Amino acid sequence: MATVSKCGSTIVGYTRDTPNPPGGEIVRDTAGNPTGMLIARPNAMILYATLAKGPALPLEHQVNSTRQFMRELNRLGVTSVIDAGGGFQNFPDDYAIVDQLARHKQLTVRIAYNLFTQNKGAELQDFQAWTKMIKPGDGSDYYRHNGAGEMLVFSAADFEDFLEPRPELAAGMEDELEKVVRHLVEQRWPFRLHATYDESISRMLDVFEKVNRDIPFDGLRWMFDHAETITPRNIDRVRALGGGIAIQHRMAFQGEYFVERYGAEAARHTPPIARMLEAGVPVGAGTDATRVASYNPWTALYWLVSGRTVGGLRLYGADQQMPRATALELWTSGSAWFSSEQHQKGRIKAGQLADLAVLSADFFSVPEDDIKALESVLTVVGGKVVYGAGDFAPLAPAPIPVLPDWSPVKTFGGHYRPAATRTALPHLCAGSCGVHGHAHGIARKSTIPVTSHTGFWGALGCSCFAF
């Protein structure tokens, strides 16, 4: 669900005559005019399409916005991300700003990016063009190409709105997916594929196994994203093909909806991370930000450790909750496998990249609820301080001004921070007056707050006036 102001609706062209787009609903008032409410039903395409209709920021503002977001990630201790692509993110045009920042050595977050097809019905042509333009690994330690996905063909997209029934993939999905996967394997391009439901995963694995019989994957890196309801049988099939599974904390935000639709017992193993690890499948953890869930890693780590949604619903028993060391490893060295960088990042050790974060509290000992409030006080990328707070602030680059001047980021900052615990001050009427000895407490509790009828301010409970 999203809301658009009246001005925004006018800019994107939504009127009483605009039909509902496929996969979405424009909510209308009794006169048929758009109210500004957009409903993603059964998928989020309407939200992505609406964002794409908005006016583009000036170049200077795009640069500033990107740098502000990287600083926000640094504040949370993030030093690397994998960009799995997104709808309406066209390559190479929409990558120009990040490419510019990389050339000017202004990236403070390392980025490995996948290319996500944008043309329904012409997906193969997208990848045929891109495989002639760029190779996986092209770039630097700061900005490098990582392969294809997470959308390979539109017919294979099983969106994860648990308020809606599970979508049934089109009958022709296998043929379309096979053509793309064959091309990617022939070109030795790593690939990843969005997959929520086991029913979809079964059909996708049928395609992968068929291609593998003709053109062996032979160590080619590939993976599923999400895999909330994958079964043990299909986990074993993923392992046999040398694949991995990247999990995210969508259940932290949609767990209540999943339980309402499928039941608490089904939710206990959604996603079955312990079973994935037991099978020896490479597993990495992330957020699926920024459209689907929060970009805050500590929200995701809280979910992994506590087994609870952000609303407090317990989803998992002790057998599915992750020990803190395991959860952190999934986020660091575990995720490095998915960008083929496990030998360069994910651990603090000689020979790996000099990236680290010093946290505001000890992740391994704070109460579970306090995990959500963790952030960095010192973030280092490539041996350089990119963010500092408190005593470390003088070591870090100064914040850059927020553009445009009216941006909400300037007023509200970044991700929500819990309010600091306030120490209760003693009531100023406790005890006796330090000057006159009047009994403040007695006066405050009496029906008529008088301690001295003869005192100048006795009717107010004390002759001191300032109390």
Q: What DSSP string describes 147-186? A: EE-S-S-GGG-----TTSPPPPPPTTHHHHHHHHHHHHHH
Residues 164 and 204 in one domain: yes
Q: How far apart are CA 384 and CA 354, in angstroms?
A: 8
Question: What is the reported pLDDT for 160?
Answer: 82
Q: Which residues contact 334 (CB under 8 A, 6 or more apart)?
A: 282, 283, 284, 285, 346
Closest CA to 399 of 6, 53, 69: 69
Instruction: Report yes or no on 358 lying in a domain.
Output: no
Q: How far apart are CA 42 and CA 158, in angstroms?
A: 10
Question: What is the reported pLDDT for 457?
Answer: 40
Question: What is the reported pLDDT for 440?
Answer: 52
Residues 27 and 73 in one domain: no
Collapse the DSSP code of 459 into the 3-class scheme (helix H, G, I; strand E, B; otherwise coil) and give the result. helix
Instruction: Report residue 171 as tokens.
Output: 């009958």
Q: How far apart are CA 8 and CA 1, in angstroms?
A: 15
Instruction: Report residue 70 as tokens.
Output: 């990287």
Question: What is the reported pLDDT for 297?
Answer: 97
Instruction: Report yes or no on 266 lying in a domain.
Output: yes
Contact by Cβ (8 Å): 145, 136 = yes
Question: Exposed, middle or buried, 74 (CB in 10 Å: 0-12/13-18/19+)?
Answer: buried
Q: How far apart are CA 187 and CA 135, in angstroms?
A: 9
Instruction: Report yes or no on 398 lying in a domain.
Output: no
Collapse the DSSP code of 224 into the 3-class scheme (helix H, G, I; strand E, B; otherwise coil) and give the result. strand
Residues 42 and 64 in one domain: no
C-alpha neighbours within 13 Å on the C-beta side of residue 272: 19
Q: Which of 294, 317, 350 is the last residue of a domain?
A: 350
Residues 33 and 155 in one domain: no
Q: How far is CA 122 from the centre of its chain?
A: 29
Residues 123 and 262 in one domain: yes
Q: How far is CA 302 from the centre of its chain?
A: 13
Q: Which of 350, 381, 404 is the last residue of a domain?
A: 350
Residues 131 and 37 in one domain: no
Q: Which domain holds residue 46?
A: 2-52
Q: How far apart are CA 3 and CA 26, in angstroms?
A: 10
Question: What is the reported pLDDT for 50?
Answer: 84
Q: What is the pLDDT of residues 126-137, one digit of tens each?
A: 999 999 999 999
Sheet holding 384-388, edge to edge: 356-359, 376-381, 384-388
- Residue 362 burial (CB count, 10 A): 10
- Residue 257 burial (CB count, 10 A): 15
Using CA atoms, how far residue 429 sits from 184, 255, 442, 455, in Å, is 76, 49, 9, 17
- Residue 278 burial (CB count, 10 A): 11
Q: How far apart are CA 338 and CA 246, in angstroms?
A: 8
Instruction: Report yes or no on 392 lying in a domain.
Output: no
Question: What is the reported pLDDT for 449?
Answer: 46
pTM for the model:
0.86
Question: What is the reported pLDDT for 419?
Answer: 66
Q: Quickly list H helices, 273-332.
A: 273-278, 297-306, 324-329
Residues 185 and 312 in one domain: yes
> What stretches in the chain show pLDDT beneath 50?
422-425, 428, 434-436, 443-444, 447-467
Question: What is the reported pLDDT for 21?
Answer: 81
Instruction: Report yes or no on 356 lying in a domain.
Output: no
Instruction: Report residue 209 as tokens.
Output: 């196994």
Q: What is the pLDDT of residues 379-427, one digit of tens each?
A: 999 999 999 999 999 999 999 999 999 888 888 878 877 766 544 445 5
Contact by Cβ (8 Å): 41, 22 = no
Residues 146 and 222 in one domain: yes
Question: What is the reported pLDDT for 464?
Answer: 40
Count of structural domains within the chain: 3
Q: How far apart are CA 387 and CA 393, in angstroms?
A: 7
Q: What is the pLDDT of residues 32-43, one digit of tens each?
A: 999 999 888 767
Residues 69 and 142 in one domain: yes
Query: In the chain, how many H helices and how many E strands?
Result: 17, 13
Instruction: Report yes or no on 268 lying in a domain.
Output: yes
Residues 152 and 294 in one domain: yes
Residues 173 and 294 in one domain: yes
Instruction: Report yes or no on 226 lying in a domain.
Output: yes
CATH number of the domain bearing residue 182 = 3.20.20.140
Q: Which of 350, 368, 396 is the last residue of a domain?
A: 350
Closest CA to 147 of 195, 112, 177, 110: 112
Q: Which amino acid is at 357?
A: A
DSSP-derived secondary structure letter, 57? P
Q: How far apart are CA 439 and CA 166, in angstroms?
A: 70
Residues 237 and 318 in one domain: yes
